[in-house]
Amino acid sequence: MDRNSEPVKFWHVCGPLLLYWVIQFVAQLVAELAVMIPHIGQVMDYDALEKSTTTEEMTKAIMSSVQGMYEIVGKYIMPILAFSALCTLFLTVPLFLKDRKKERILYKQAVKVPGVKKYLVVFGLGSAFCIGLNCLMMLSAQALSSFAYSDVDMQTNVVVQLICMGIIVPVAEELMFRGLVFKRFREKSTFFSAVLLSSLIFGLMNGNLLQILYVGAMGMVLAYSYEICGTIKVPILLHITVNVMGILLTDSALGAWIQGDIMRLGGAVIVSAFVGSSMYVLLRGMKKQEVPPVE
């Protein structure tokens, strides 16, 4: 649906975004403290602190204790991130439902659930995107990693990874960055502007250039799938697919086999590009056949 190009009010988009970051930060801090406090006695070297006679010795003892704390937190980082993501739902779910209700009243469009075919196409697109881009990063001598869990402890149980980073985090991020940020930009601007701005914000959440590029590109694909299909369920499924595929690539024998030879990596990139482009063409075909509903 075309919107008039009008200025987007700063707080209309940035207000929820700032609250989202505050909730996420506070929830993560609370969870980290809950993990650390029971282990203080184990990591604090009180004898070393008492015996310290110089500033250098005291600093060394303190840094050793801090390092121990970080190691404890690292063991639980995925549940911590999942907890902070769940806490943001108290903000994003009510705002998302309010916005969609307003849209339905304003544009008089009914909610329509996409068919199974559309979900299968999105699954194929997400799988191709994840495998292709990760293998391309490997060909560029970069470590194989998925953007959503690149900085966490990959020794965590695979089931925990799949639940926390494969399901909970994608749902929370999609409600915020596609359900609120993208859609609110889209209300007053063109599709291209809304995709670019929302993807840039989504990408800047990550700390290094490679991950910013990865997340930014993924954000564009997610926003496009939302625009084409008209329901938040589609980008959520796509995001979950990308994260799950990244986890399985990292922790499976198949992933190790692909990484073991440059020709296999190159072949995976080519096949993924073909599958991804095919899924894209199918989505565009579906777009022409029906008017996307608003959810």
DSSP 4-71: ---PPPHHHHHHHHHHHHHHHHHHHHHHHHHHHGGGHHHH--HHHHHH--SHHHHHHHHHHHHHHHHH
Phi, psi of 96 (to 5 degrees): -65, -50
pLDDT bin (cut points 50, 70, 90) of residue 144 is very low
- The 3 state secondary structure assigned to 236-288 is HHHHHHHHHHHHHHHHCHHHHHHHCCHHHHHHHHHHHHHHHHHHHHHHHHHHH
Alpha-carbon distance of 107 to 7, in angstroms, equals: 20
Give pLDDT tens digits for 201-235: 998 876 667 778 888 888 988 998 888 888 899 89
Q: Which of 177, 20, 176 is nearest to 87 (CA)?
A: 20
Let me know: does 84 contact 31? Beta carbons within 8 Å: yes
Of the candidates 173, 140, 143, the one whose C-alpha atom is nearest the C-alpha of residue 243 is 173
Helix axes 169-176, 77-107, angle to 10 degrees: 40
Share above pLDDT 90 across residues of the chain, in percent, rounded to a whole number: 25
Please give the pLDDT value at position 224: 87
Q: Are 232 and 174 in contact (CB under 8 A)?
A: yes
Residues in the chain: 295
**Helix 77-107 and helix 55-75: axis angle, to 10°?**
60
Question: What's the angle, vertex CA 187, arms to CA 90 and CA 207, rounded to 5?
Answer: 60
How far, in Å, CA of 98 to CA of 121, rounded? Answer: 29
Chain CA centroid to CA 261, Å:
29
Read off the tokens for 163.
Answer: 């639940």
* DSSP helix/strand/coil, 157: coil
Task: Give pLDDT, residue 49.
Answer: 60
End-to-end CA distance of the chain: 13
**In angstroms, rounded to a whole number, what is the distance separating the alpha carbons of residues 48 and 69?**
16
Ranking 19-23, 112-116, 150-154, 170-174 by mean pLDDT, the lowest is 150-154
The pTM of this model reads 0.80
Q: Give per-residue pLDDT as tens, 85-110.
A: 999 999 999 999 999 888 888 766 65
Q: 233-292 pLDDT, tens per residue?
A: 989 988 998 888 888 877 777 777 777 778 888 888 888 889 888 888 887 777 666 654
Helical H runs in 76-208? 77-107, 116-139, 158-163, 169-176, 183-188, 191-204
Decide if 201 contacts 8 (C-beta within 8 A): no
Q: Are 169 and 148 in contact, with CB atoms under 8 Å apart? A: yes
Residue 38 Cα distances to 27, 42, 70, 176, angstroms: 18, 9, 14, 33
